[in-house]
Chain A
């Protein structure tokens, strides 16, 4: 199975901060990388697909980059509604494994 490792597992940030979360794959997955946001008690929502494509309706402050084994999710200016947990997921090969999650908390 392809292992996905996110960093950091949690971080504290302030409104307006630039936040970057990284995701590493245990082998090359080209650009088969998706990012999801999950708020407490809610289902995950797709943010970014194919490493850098913004899902419809997602604010442009979210962006993704990377290919191969290293990927990043960046929030350019953190908003109150962005405090949540973020998961990366590879869709290159079954099983479609997720990273362990990165929780963004209010400083």
Chain B
């Protein structure tokens, strides 16, 4: 069974930093690209970052570019999101999501999410 488990979410002050982790199991992690998607309270979904299976390619949404860094450790079956210079508007549930290994990209598995609250 495919499982993705996020951790690291907590309350942090504006301007602070946080590192989210997503541990994967039940599939060959090193073969899949991974993503982070967030959802502010009561709002819709926002894709924020992508990393290819080999880490050769990364993408970021404009809203987090220059502040967030995605990385992965295939030996540990984990993907990470380093978040710096956090803002109140970064408050959200953060999901990691797996890309299916096909020509039409899609998020075929999601974690349960971890809540990040940015507040003073």
- Residues of B whose CB lies within 8 Å of any CB of A are 35, 37, 44-47, 50, 59, 61-62, 95, 100, 104-108, 110-113
Is A34's CB under 8 angstroms from B106's CB?
yes
Taking CB as reference atom, which chain B residue is nearest A34?
B106
Is B104's CB under 8 angstroms from A101's CB?
no
Is A98's CB under 8 angstroms from B47's CB?
yes
The range of chain A's interface size is 20 to 34
Is B47's CB under 8 angstroms from A95's CB?
yes
Is A31's CB under 8 angstroms from B107's CB?
no
Taking CB as reference atom, which chain B residue is nearest A51?
B104
**Can you list 7 A-B pairs with a CB-CB distance of less than 8 A?**
A1-B62, A55-B108, A89-B45, A89-B47, A95-B59, A99-B44, A101-B44
CB of A94 to closest CB in B, whole Å: 5
